[in-house]
Amino acid sequence: MTVIDYDLEFLEDGRHIELISIGIVCDDGREYYAVNSDADWDRVKKHHWLMHNVWPHLPLRGHKTGLVTVGSKTEVRLTEPGVIDTRNTQVKPRWVIANEVRDFIQAAPYVELWANYGAYDHVALAQLWGRMIDLPEGVPMFTCDIQQERARLGLRWDELPQQESGEHNALADARHNQTVRRWLAEQEARTS
């Protein structure tokens, strides 16, 4: 069995979940990151939370950063959002991402998928290929959830290893998921 940890950033409105970016790490050492050039960037730009938390991690051009005072803290923030940098090879059409992610998962035998609070991530991942019935061979029909395993082991969420940087960068989040998932496995091995 091979474990694949992943994370998606997405735009969701209560009806649809649209891929923005995807990060995947595999226990065999491979990694994958892509940004969906087909995302509705006009809607993303109207979404305050995404612009604040996700957008700064995406490949951008024409953007500007500056020191901004927030409460008692001064932080480096985007002062001009710029646009998605389509010259960056990580920015790809959705159908290309679907093919590459399929190949990434199929390259490993007996895959187990893991994510954190992963219900929406699983749906958005599976919809890369269309309907549930269109799921490519070798892609699991469910994603194991770090939070479910945490609860099963009787731990609180704030007892888990904390992410030091890059939160809401899909690849940084996927790497952190791998760290936490392995840490949970160690806790279980210690107690059983």
The contact set with Mg ion (CB under 5 A) reads 7, 173
- Residue with smaller CB distance to Mg ion, 21 or 127: 21
- Rounded to the nearest 10°, the torsion over CA 15, 50, 62, 65 is 170
Distance, in Å, from the CA atom of 25 to the CA atom of 33, rounded to the nearest integer, reads 9
Strand runs labelled E in the chain: 2-12, 17-26, 31-36, 60-61, 64-70, 73-80, 83-84, 91-92, 111-115, 144-145
Judged by beta carbon, residue 98 or residue 115, the one nearer Mg ion is 115
Taking the least distance from each CB to Mg ion, the nearer of 136 and 166 is 166
Instruction: Give the shortest CB-188-to-Mg ion separation in angstroms.
Output: 24
CB of 170 to Mg ion, least distance (A): 5
Contact criterion met (CB below 8 Å) for 17 and 127 = yes
CB of 54 to Mg ion, least distance (A): 8
What is the closest distance, in whole angstroms, from the C-beta atom of residue 168 to Mg ion in the complex?
Answer: 5
Residue nearest to Mg ion (CB): 173
- Whichever of 120 and 142 has its CB closer to Mg ion, that residue is 120
